[in-house]
Amino acid sequence: MRKLILAAASAAALALTGFSAGPASAADSPIVIKFSHVVASDTPKGKAADKFKELAEKYTNGKVKVEIYPNSTLYKDKEELEALQLGAVQMLAPSNSKFGPIGIKEFEVFDLPYILPDLKTLRKVTDGPLGARLLKLLDSKGMTGLAYWDNGFKQMSANKKLLEPADYKGLKFRIQSSKVLEAQFRTLGAIPQVMAFSDVYQALQTGVVDGQENTWSNIYTQKMHEVQKYMTTTNHGYIGYVVVVKTGKTEILSLTPEQDEAMRKAMMPVYKDVASRVGQPLIDEFLKETGRSPMN
Ligand code: LMR
């Protein structure tokens, strides 16, 4: 866990500095990671972001400072991905449904109705090779996908009882920017309308749309129940997130144990070459003091 948090914090920090901060400039002031999101703090994503802040600051001894901007206070859905690409924020966790407009439509597979029976099955996908392959797609957009975060399953709401497929006919539904969600509502004979999450409450209140789909935590924290007469437990779809940072200019490579050994072996002649200059007894003393053998 500690390693993961540190890796995430350094990925975001590297994107911020472009790996250009020299030792002097990096030494004093903390590296600030701005983490923007669109939901309330008291939701799965809000809590995960706050936890990340707590652990990243703790594990870096305050060298990294994470500023969380919840509830679209900094950017709305579409803007936040643009802001990340421009470097105005360093970390986001947009829902899978929001990557289509920047040209990565594959994450919309998570939007297919009834494709995930439960969270355990979801984990099997996201923690396996398929999940890793999907994260890799972000590279082409200058982003690095660090992790999948959960919210949960979606429910339907409207001012009319939604019990049969026919009940959806002709109603306007707010959707996230996903073509799969558009197809889902069109299939039911409804009229989908893409809208930023922060605008949903008002759109429901003023009748710009008749209904919406979302998770219980999002519905409750946005107070949608104040402006919707009926909620139907459908669990028809899933909302989860991809934690993304802008890719730094420098790619960090890791060596396999074999490559590491080859590097060490390749550099061993240095010890012999400089023995007369530095002094073999001093080198021996040094190695004894550090308890180190250069080959491991
Ligand atoms: C939505 O726009 O409905 C959700 O993606 C919001 C969120 O981030 O959970």
Q: Is residue 45 part of a domain?
A: yes
- Could you tell me if 154 and 176 are in contact, meaning their C-beta atoms sit under 8 angstroms apart? no
The structure's pTM equals 0.80
Any atom of ligand 1 within 6 Å of the Cβ of 93: no
CA distances from 201 to 36, 39, 60, 97 (A): 20, 12, 39, 19
Consecutive H or E run containing 150: strand 143-158
Any atom of ligand 1 within 6 Å of the Cβ of 39: yes
Please name the residue that has the structure tokens 């899978």: 96
The predicted structure's pLDDT at residue 24: 44
Q: Which amino acid, residue 79?
A: E
- Residue located nearest, by CA, to atom 1 of ligand 1: 197
The predicted structure's pLDDT at residue 7: 66
For residue 26, give the CATH number of its domain: 3.40.190.170
Whether 267 and 164 map to the same domain: the answer is no
Where the chain has pLDDT below 70, the residues are 1-4, 6-7, 10-27, 250-252
Residue count of the chain, please give it.
296
Q: Which amino acid, residue 134?
A: L
> 247 C-alpha vs ligand 1 centroid, how far in Å?
23
Q: Is residue 296 part of a domain?
A: no
Any atom of ligand 1 within 6 Å of the Cβ of 178: no
> 215 C-alpha vs ligand 1 centroid, how far in Å?
9
Q: What is the pLDDT of residues 22-45, one digit of tens each?
A: 444 555 789 999 999 999 999 999
Whether 31 and 88 map to the same domain: the answer is yes
Residue 198 lies in domain: 156-232
Whether 169 and 217 map to the same domain: the answer is yes
Q: Is residue 252 part of a domain?
A: no
* H helix intervals, 188-256: 200-206, 216-221
The predicted structure's pLDDT at residue 16: 60
- Could you tell me if 196 and 71 are in contact, meaning their C-beta atoms sit under 8 angstroms apart? no
Structure token pair of residue 112: 């297919």
Whether 137 and 26 map to the same domain: the answer is yes
Whether 192 and 218 map to the same domain: the answer is yes
Whether 136 and 6 map to the same domain: the answer is yes
> Strands 230-232 and 64-69, how do they pair?
unpaired
